[in-house]
Amino acid sequence: MRIGVVGLGYVGLVTAAVLADKGYEVVGVDVDERKVEGLNCGRVPIYEPGLKELLTRSQGRLTFTTDYSRLSDVDVAFIAVSTPTVNGRISLDYVLSASRSLKVLGKDSVIAVKSTVIPGTARKVRELSGREVVSNPEFLKEGSAIRDTTNPDRIVIGGEAQWAMDLVEKVWSFTNSPVIRTTWEEAEMIKYASNSFLAVKISFINEIANLCERLNCDVNVVAKAMGLDPRISPHFLRAGLGYGGSCFPKDTKAFLSFSEDLGEPLRIVGAAIQVNEERPLRAVRMLEEVMGELRDRVVCILGLAFKPNTDDTRESVGLKIASLLKEKGVRVIGYDPMARTESVEQVSTKEECIARAEGVIVATEWEEFKGIEDLLKEKYVVDGRRILDLSKLKRFRAVGYGRMTEGRS
Ligand code: NAD
């Protein structure tokens, strides 16, 4: 089978690399000439564990181009372009533009939409492209994207034409994962409902954390016992500074405005968004509580990627905190093992970052930030991700942890 992948970002590039590794001939198309040129010279534009090795291994079966006509003989073309939220609403511009370009496909080719889109989009893709369309939403997580693509929890295939659904199911037959066949709209809903549910779960435990801080309780103790109930499960029950990244913030907002347009507003999702947007400000307030007036003082942010094991800084909590601190006249420096950004002065080691600062905020739970308590002894610390041994710290505040500490008013 020959496969096309349109959009070579976190989803498209991983999909292309995994499918080529499984033996398919894959053509990857992107409108970004520099990205395509780089990929053809072996430069991988993103950090994702194992991706570079996988791309090297599948050389020969994988080509990159900006030329859509190279897709004319593929059996399945996956759309994996971005679907940003603009002013609270999804922008389908890239998906619709890709759909028009996919008129180059043969009449028996199938388009599979991987991009996260509001219900009703796959139908539009069919109208614009004139080709049969299947909705095949993506559930991979950055940081474990290759494992998630090779071995997904479930494969959702939504569509109308059985032959087209059969073809897309065949592409994924190497996975042995459960396949759920649905309509287009159900498939599109499954993706948004899943992401929104996870966002609600995170915001829920973060509000419980707020309450724990008032009651001198430890939210980790509460969450651990809650999670032992299989109906609740321990996953996504870690209190912290909230969710960021390229998916949850934009998807929850797009889903909310979509629901409002239909006259059935998802009030719980709205509340989850609101709670999440308060998290960075709460981290700053915590630092003020231990450190006092922040103006002209130096604060180090550990973790600028939106989560560990990625270099992705889109909607990163660390960067949001940095900008709030700067507004208060704070001198902010940052450190991240992988992420690079223009918006904060970055130093190359955590040791330097901590040594130069009076205050430290742990914003991302990178493995290398565990066990650094000795470096933090003389600092004012906010453990925003609950990864530190608090018994070894002197002047700190920690999310969902209410005990009085030295320096706390
Ligand atoms: P991304 O921004 O990393 O990559 C998108 C790529 O599409 C870019 O390289 C861009 O140049 C390219 N592109 C834009 N318009 C194009 C066009 N008309 N033709 C060809 N290429 C075009 O995005 P991403 O993070 O990979 O996400 C892609 C989609 O998958 C989004 O809808 C996202 O919501 C969804 N998704 C993302 C993740 C994730 O973890 N990143 C997980 C699940 C689903």
* Residue 39 beta carbon below 6 angstroms from any ligand 1 atom: no
The Å distance, Cα 362 to ligand 1 centre, comes to 29
Q: What pTM was computed for the model? A: 0.95
Most informative mutation of 6, 64, 138, 252 for ligand 1 (most atoms within 8 A of CB)? 138
Burial call 348-387: b when 16+ CB within 10 Å, e when fewer = eebeebbeebbbbbbbbbbeebeebbeebeebbbbbbbbb
Q: Is 247 a catalytic residue?
A: yes
pLDDT tens-digit map of 64-121: 999 999 999 999 999 999 999 999 999 999 999 999 999 999 999 999 999 999 999 9
For 221, 363, 397, 404, 406, the CA distances from 218, given in Å and listed in that order, are: 6, 19, 12, 12, 18
Give the pLDDT score at 403.
64
Tokens of 159: 């569509």
The Å distance, Cα 100 to ligand 1 centre, comes to 17
For 135, 157, 160, the CA distances from 182, given in Å and listed in that order, are: 9, 6, 9
Residue the block writes with tokens 């968004």? 273
Tokens of 77: 């073309």
Domains of the chain: 2-182 (3.40.50.720), 193-398 (3.40.50.720)
| Per-residue pLDDT at 409 exceeds 90 | no
149 falls in which pLDDT band (50, 70, 90)? very high
Rounded CA Rg of the chain: 23
pLDDT tens-digit map of 295-309: 999 999 999 999 999
Percent of the chain at pLDDT > 70 equals 98
| C-beta neighbour count of 388 within 10 angstroms | 21
404 falls in which pLDDT band (50, 70, 90)? low
Residue the block writes with tokens 């499918």? 19
The torsion angles phi and psi of 111, rounded to 5 degrees, stand at -100, 130
Closest by Cα among 75, 94, 76 to 84 = 94
Percent of the chain at pLDDT > 90 equals 98
The Å distance, Cα 383 to ligand 1 centre, comes to 32
Give the pLDDT score at 408.
42
pLDDT tens-digit map of 334-359: 999 999 999 999 999 999 999 999 99
Among candidate residues 212, 217, 247, 300, the one labeled active-site is: 247
| Per-residue pLDDT at 50 exceeds 50 | yes
Could you tell me the maximum CA-CA distance found in the chain, to the nearest angstrom?
71
Q: Are 7 and 82 in contact (CB under 8 A)?
A: yes
Residue the block writes with tokens 């930030």? 369
| 398 DSSP β-pair partners | 383, 401
* Residue 300 beta carbon below 6 angstroms from any ligand 1 atom: no
Give the pLDDT score at 406.
47
The torsion angles phi and psi of 73, rounded to 5 degrees, stand at -115, 20
In degrees, rounded to 5, the angle at the alpha carbon of residue 313 between the alpha carbons of residues 14 and 257 is 85
Q: Whose CA is nearest to atom 18 of ligand 1?
A: 98
402 falls in which pLDDT band (50, 70, 90)? confident
Q: What is the mean pLDDT of residues 395-407?
A: 78
Interface ipTM above 0.95 = yes
Dihedral of alpha carbons 348, 350, 351, 356, sign: positive
d(CA 166, CA 157): 9
The chain-wide mean pLDDT, for the chain, equals 96
**Binding-site annotation: residue ranges for substrate:** 139-142, 191, 236-240, 244, 307
* Cβ neighbours of residue 342 closer than 8 Å, sequence gap 6 or more: none
406 or 5, which is more confident: 5
pLDDT tens-digit map of 234-271: 999 999 999 999 999 999 999 999 999 999 999 999 99
